[in-house]
Amino acid sequence: MTPRLSRRGFLGVLGGAVAVAGLAGCGAVGLDTPAGQTGEMLTSAVPLPAPYRVPLPIPAVARPTGTLGGADLYEITQLAADVEIIPGLRTTIWGYDGTFPGPTFETRSGRPVVVRHTNRLPVPTVVHLHGGHTPSDSDGWPLDLVLPVGDTSNWAHVHNGVPMVGNTIAGTREHHYPMSQRAATLWYHDHRMDFTAPNVYRGLAGMHLVRDDVEDALGLPTGDHELPLFVCDRAFAADGSFDYPSLDRTLRTVPGVEDRYVSGVLGDVVLVNGAPWPVHEVDGTRYRLRIVNGSNARRYSFALRVPGGPDLPFTQVGSDGGLLAAPVRQTALDAAPGERFDVVVDFAAVPVGTEVTMVNTLGTGSTADVVRFHVVRAARDDSRVPARLADDVAPLVPGPVVREFAFGRGAVGDTRGWTINGRAFDPNSSLADIPLGQVETWRFRSDVHHPVHVHLDPFQVLARDGKPPRATDVGWKDTVDVLPAEIVDVAVRFTDLAGRYVFHCHNLEHEDMAMMATIRTV
C-alpha cells in the first residue's frame, strides 16, 4: 500500500522525485514517465473496453432560465451523479448539472451573461471561465469558495502560517461575464485552492463557445457538422470509480497527491466528451472540430489516420483566443493541458465507408487511441473556409523583455515544491502590477513541461529559444506549452478590467502544489 503523506511531506519528497529528471529532453519526472510527458501513469484496475464501440456523446447545450439586470441568466447545479462511462460499470462523477462534461454554453459576444452556480457537492468549489475576459470578482479566484449548501464548516486556509482569505459564500454564487470578447472556444472548470486537480478529475469541467457576427459570416461548418471534442484521460478503480491518488480521498482537508504522482497524473483511458475512445458517423463533408485538452497533465499530438493512405490534414481556423487571421494547414496538433484548437476537417477527401481515426502520437497502448470518424454517406456541403478569417489579429509590438518568470522546483516554506521565480503562490502579494493597455514582453523559462496559462486576456507567442514560434502557436493564446529547458517569449496586453488575477501552470498537480502567482492589472 502506498503510504500517505502530509502536505509538508509530499512537498518534501518533490525535490527528490524531480531530481532524477534534471533537464532531460523528454521532461521526464520519475522513472516511469512516458516520453513527451511530465507525469506518472495510473493503470486502471478494470478491463478496458475495445476502442471505437461507444457512440460519441454530444453534451447538452445550456439554456438561459431568464434575465438578470439585462444579462442572460443561466443556473447550474454542481452535484454528484452515477453514470456509465466504462460499459457495464457505474462511476460517480461530480458534474455541472450532474453531467461530465457539463453543459456547453453558447453565448454571443457583447451580450452579457450571468451564471448562477449552486454547490450541492460535499466540498467547496470555485468556477473559472478559462479564456474569459472576466471581472476579477467573477474570474474564479482560487480562494473565492462556494461552500456546499447548508455547510457551516470552517474552510479557512493557512499556509506556512499565513492566512489565505477569499470571498467565501455559502451555497450559491453568481458569475458575471460581460462577454466583451471575440468569438472563441472557451471552457469552464473548477479552480479551488489546492484541490483543482482532483475536482476537475472527478468531472467539474465543460465547454463554452462564444459566437459573433464576424464568425457567422464566414460560412464555416455549423449545426451537426460542428463537433465539440472535450478530450481528457482518466483511470478507473476496480469498483468503476475514478482512480485518483489524493492524500485525502474526501478532498476536504489535506491537499496533494501520493509521492509518486507529484509531477502530474496520467490516466490510461482517453475520454472524448466523457466516453472512452468513441466513434461518430459523419457525412462526406467538412466538419468543424472544437478541441479542448481538458486533461490534468497529459499532452497530446493529434493526427488523423486514414487506412492505406496519407493522414488527413487539419485546417486550423482558431486558437485559444478565437479566429486566426487566415487558415493554417496543420498535419498534427500538439496540445498541452488547457489549450484549444478550432479546426476544419474535410471528410469528402476520403471515400464513403472510410474510417478516419484521430490518434495521439505521443501515446502508447491505450493512450494512442482517441476517437474514430466513420464516413457513412455523401452529402451536399454548403460550408467553406475563406482565405481571410479575421482582421483583428495584428501582431502586438512590444518593447524588450520586461518580465521573466521561471517555472521550476523551489522552496515552498521550508519544503520543496513547484514555484514561479522560486516563490510559492501568495495571494496577498503581487508578482507583477501591469498597467492596462500596456504591451509587454514576458519570458517564460521552464525546467520540465509547463503549460502556462494567463487569466483575463490572451497573448501572442513571439519566439521559442530565440527562434520563430511553432506552427500551432498562431493567433491569440492564453495557454502556451513551454517545453523542458525552453524559453518562450510572449506579448501580453491586458485591457478594460483592473483587479487581481493569477497565472499558473496548467498541469493541475503543479498548480495545486503552489505553481501559481498573483498579478494585478492597474
Question: How high is the pLDDT of residue 163?
Answer: 66
Question: Which amino acid belongs to residue 130?
Answer: H
Question: How high is the pLDDT of residue 434?
Answer: 96
Q: What is the pLDDT of residues 68-82, one digit of tens each?
A: 999 999 999 999 999
Q: What is the pLDDT of residues 431-475, one digit of tens each?
A: 999 999 999 999 999 999 999 999 999 999 999 999 999 999 999
Predicted confidence band of residue 3 (pLDDT cuts 50, 70, 90): very low
Mean pLDDT of the chain, nearest integer: 92
Beta-bridged to residue 91, according to DSSP, are 83
Whether residue 298 contacts residue 37, with contact meaning beta carbons closer than 8 Å, is answered with yes
Q: What is the pLDDT of residues 151-179, one digit of tens each?
A: 877 776 665 556 667 899 999 999 999 99
Give the strand pairing for 309-312 and 300-306: antiparallel
Question: How high is the pLDDT of residue 211?
Answer: 98
Question: How high is the pLDDT of residue 13?
Answer: 34
Cα(31)–Cα(17) distance, rounded to whole angstroms?
A: 9
Predicted confidence band of residue 378 (pLDDT cuts 50, 70, 90): very high
Q: What is the pLDDT of residues 250-307, one digit of tens each?
A: 999 889 999 899 999 999 999 999 999 999 999 999 999 999 999 999 999 999 999 9
Predicted confidence band of residue 1 (pLDDT cuts 50, 70, 90): very low
Question: How high is the pLDDT of residue 412?
Answer: 72
Cα(336)–Cα(332) distance, rounded to whole angstroms?
A: 13
Residue whose C-alpha is closest to residue 43's, from 264, 293, 360, 266: 266
Lowest-confidence pick of 252-261, 292-301, 329-338, 365-374 = 252-261
Q: What is the pLDDT of residues 386-427, one digit of tens each?
A: 999 999 889 998 888 889 999 998 877 666 679 999 999 999
Question: How high is the pLDDT of residue 416?
Answer: 67
Predicted confidence band of residue 10 (pLDDT cuts 50, 70, 90): very low
Predicted confidence band of residue 28 (pLDDT cuts 50, 70, 90): very low
First-to-last C-alpha distance (Å) of the chain: 50
Question: How high is the pLDDT of residue 409?
Answer: 85
Cα(372)–Cα(351) distance, rounded to whole angstroms?
A: 15
Q: What is the pLDDT of residues 489-519, one digit of tens each?
A: 999 999 999 999 999 999 999 999 999 999 9
CB atoms within 10 A of CB 393: 19
Question: How high is the pLDDT of residue 161?
Answer: 57
Q: What is the pLDDT of residues 37-56, one digit of tens each?
A: 999 999 999 999 999 999 99
Cα(274)–Cα(96) distance, rounded to whole angstroms?
A: 13
The three grid cell numbers given for residue 401, joined into one nine-digit string: 523583455
Q: Is the preceding omega at residue 451 within 30 degrees of 0, hence cis?
A: no
- Identify the sign of the CA torsion 243, 247, 250, 251: negative
